[in-house]
Structure 1
Amino acid sequence: MSVTAPPAPPVAPKPAAAASGPRFWNSTGVVRLRREGAIAPIAAFVVFFVVYVIINPELLTRFQLQTASNLVVPLALVALGQLIVVLVGGIDISIGAIMSLCNVVFATQLEHLPVPVAILLSVGVGLACGLFNGVLVAYAGLPAIAVTLASAFIFGSIAREVLDRPGGGVTKEIYLATSGELVPFVPVSLVWLAVIAVLLWLLLQRTALGRHIYGVGSNMESVRAAGINARLTKLLAFGLAGVVTSFGAMMLASSTVTGDPRSGDPYLLSSIAAVALAGAAFTGGKGSIIGTILAACTLGLIGNLLFFAGVNSYWQYVISALIIVAVVGIPVVWRRVAFFAKGARS
């Protein structure tokens, strides 16, 4: 006589949220943001924005939103250009001079040429400047900091030859198309920034070139072993940085309705500070687009807050420098403290 075992009790299915928790967080990009170091700048921006609104509630008015957007968008675009160079393990000291040159080319050519042609010329100048740096860094093997320091003087001198004082032919129509309002409370400049940021994100995350840029900065030997042309990747990264910087230059010219041969000077230190605040690794291979944009917005709002507080604008340079020192130095100090604390316990 055989005995049949009783049927096993039904197993309750795992909750969908628990089963797919890690997959959910991966799909929302939180893991990617943490890996790229973007969580800290996002949190910093949220905290500072709340504090700023408490101190100056007028920021949420239409005029103040438009003014603040026109202030931070050029910085965000130039910071994105700096980020691309940092991703391949370099740094671009000439990025402010590139911005000045593209700015005056755009503003002056509007006096003689149709707007699309002036835009193409400005983008072409930015691309040429980036490729000039890229050739010397990637193929001549020169240090990026030395090359871009020298080219900063070259590009700056050319900018002053093109336009020796503020001027140009930027019209009200161009201002409205780039720096006005799309709809109430939606500045056009933020829309342009979002479009460029999304296209750049797709390029870096969804194309072979983007993967190569991250790879060259994170592990050069593995990239070479895989048969990837690291020199060409560096060259294209510098060229792409010049193109993105040219968009920042044109946005600045449009918002100020003028070209200025020294317009890019304040953006060099600020772009480096934004990339540092965004958690990018200056050794290459790590950096976030959204983190860089929000870090640039935070720096821009700091400058705006100082302006409304009646503080000399030159203090923004001091604050940017302190941010760079803090972002770079605090992790080092923390690791040393943790090391000594671990040694003391053992």
Structure 2
Amino acid sequence: MSPTTTTIPAPPQPVGAVRSGVRRMKYDGAIAPVLAFVVFFGVYLAINPGLLTRFQLQSAANLIAPLALIALGQLLIVLIGGIDISIGAITSLCNVVFATQIANLSGPGALLMCIATGVLCGALNGALVAYANLPAIAVTLATAFIFAALARQILDRPGGALSEEIYLITSGELVPFVPISVVWLALIAVALWFFLQRTAFGRQVYGVGSGRQAVQSAGLKPRLTILVTFMISGGLVALGSILLAGSTLTGDPRSGDPYLLNSIAVVALSGAAFAGGRGSILGTVLAAAVLGMVGNLLFFAGINSYWQYVISALIILAVVVIPRLVGFAVRTSTLRRKHDE
């Protein structure tokens, strides 16, 4: 009897959509924050197993969700090749608008006024950058002082008229162990992903950052793209400020101060290119979760929360310095190899 051979079927290859998604994640730099989140989450659980209790889950979610939304606003500006220094001041202004107007208007009215405030702030920044051809960093540095002054004019100390109902809607639990702030974040992040990945305008946002002249040569309008991107960014920041106000049940004219450096650190950790044209929604959300968990660990370890600023600064520095060091090492190795040959 002749021997028979058994053929083991090869594992099925990933479908086109999955493979394309993985390639996109690699291009956008999202692989690193995904791995960082998995590793850090495991370390966090080992150090603090109580994270999975209802109270700590909700506390962590209410810390991470506003940061993630505000960082997504910063990501949009980075995608078009800029950076928004006014993002903390916009957060403060929207926060106090929502906290004070909730007493004068209905909840939906205060919500709309808050979002409109963020969109108008973004429109001012966008108009100056797009149509006056001014650098985004200079424009937003100047408007940061204006927005911060307006916030202090509206509310000169922490206060407002927020109620327990607002807390339940923005920061409570949808069902046990499911913080509603995570649900809002997921819905907004998915909507933003579809906007950027599945619409022509979204592709223009990436195009403006990677090659503005090419976008203009194709007959598109990069200036309008920049203006609308700033407006959407302002709307996202406003949504983040609402979750922040709901979780603290107060309006604070300085509530946005920590979010400038933290939002930049999150975008840096997410793998986005500060030159523009590359960035990931998923990577930004997970990077915000990592930075939020760092803050929680510092809190439970009894370490001064200001060390989180140091960590954020080190993240930004590492993202800038490490690629240069790697590039230098590669060039040096290449030169030595050529010399040896």
| TM-score category (smaller protein) | over 0.9
Question: Counterparts of 2:308 and 2:273 in 1: how far apart (Å)?
Answer: 23
Tell me whether 1:245 sits opposite 2:237 in the alignment: yes
Tell me whether 1:302 sits opposite 2:282 in the alignment: no
* Structure 1 runs, 4 residues or longer, greater than 3 Å off: 13-18
Q: 1:178 offset after TM fit, Å?
A: 1.1
Residue by residue over 1:163-217, the C-alpha shift from the partner in whole angstroms, topping out at 9 and shown as x without a partner, is 0111111110110111111111110000000000011111111111101100000
Residues 161/322 of structure 1: CA separation in 2 closer, same or farther (3 Å cut) = same
Q: 1:219 offset after TM fit, Å?
A: 1.1
Structure 2 residue aligned with 1:84: 76
Tell me whether 1:194 sits opposite 2:186 in the alignment: yes
The Cα RMSD (Å) is 1.5
Tell me whether 1:339 sits opposite 2:328 in the alignment: no
Tell me whether 1:122 sits opposite 2:80 in the alignment: no
Q: Secondary structure at the match of 2:257?
A: coil
Q: Secondary structure at the match of 2:271?
A: coil
Structure 2 residue aligned with 1:26: 19
Structure 1 residue aligned with 2:4: none
Q: Secondary structure at the match of 1:182?
A: strand
Tell me whether 1:276 sits opposite 2:268 in the alignment: yes
Structure 2 residue aligned with 1:58: 50
Identity of aligned residues (%): 63
Q: 1:32 offset after TM fit, Å?
A: 1.1
Residue pairs, 1:183-332, within 5 angstroms:
183-332=175-324
Residues 24/212 of structure 1: CA separation in 2 closer, same or farther (3 Å cut) = closer
Using the TM superposition, name which of 205-214 and 115-124 deviates more. Answer: 205-214
Question: Counterparts of 2:171 and 2:297 in 1: how far apart (Å)?
Answer: 20
Question: Which structure has the larger Rg?
Answer: 1
Question: Counterparts of 2:234 and 2:213 in 1: how far apart (Å)?
Answer: 26
Question: Counterparts of 2:74 and 2:230 in 1: how far apart (Å)?
Answer: 9
Structure 1 residue aligned with 2:85: 93
Question: Counterparts of 1:14 and 1:234 in 2: how far apart (Å)?
Answer: 54
Tell me whether 1:175 sits opposite 2:167 in the alignment: yes
Residue by residue over 1:227-247, the C-alpha shift from the partner in whole angstroms, topping out at 9 and shown as x without a partner, is 010000000010010000000
Tell me whether 1:111 sits opposite 2:142 in the alignment: no
Question: Counterparts of 1:302 and 1:133 in 2: how far apart (Å)?
Answer: 32
Q: Secondary structure at the match of 1:165?
A: coil
Q: Secondary structure at the match of 1:89?
A: coil
Question: Counterparts of 1:173 and 1:70 in 2: how far apart (Å)?
Answer: 16
Q: 1:25 offset after TM fit, Å?
A: 3.7
Structure 2 letter corresponding to 1:274: V
Question: Counterparts of 1:245 and 1:306 in 2: how far apart (Å)?
Answer: 25
Question: Counterparts of 1:268 and 1:43 in 2: how far apart (Å)?
Answer: 25
Structure 1: gaps of 5 or more residues: 1-12
Structure 1 letter corresponding to 2:286: L
Structure 2 letter corresponding to 1:222: A
TM-score, structure 1 as length reference: 0.94
Q: Secondary structure at the match of 2:204?
A: helix
Structure 2 letter corresponding to 1:340: T
Residues 148/24 of structure 1: CA separation in 2 closer, same or farther (3 Å cut) = closer
Residue by residue over 1:277-323, the C-alpha shift from the partner in whole angstroms, topping out at 9 and shown as x without a partner, is 00101111000000001001111110110011111111110110000
Structure 2 letter corresponding to 1:165: R
Structure 2 letter corresponding to 1:328: V
Structure 2 letter corresponding to 1:216: V
Paired residues, number: 333
Question: Counterparts of 2:234 and 2:182 in 1: how far apart (Å)?
Answer: 20
Structure 1 letter corresponding to 2:90: I
Residues 66/335 of structure 1: CA separation in 2 closer, same or farther (3 Å cut) = same
Q: 1:23 offset after TM fit, Å?
A: 2.4
Q: Secondary structure at the match of 2:275?
A: coil
Q: 1:331 offset after TM fit, Å?
A: 1.1
Question: Counterparts of 1:156 and 1:138 in 2: how far apart (Å)?
Answer: 23
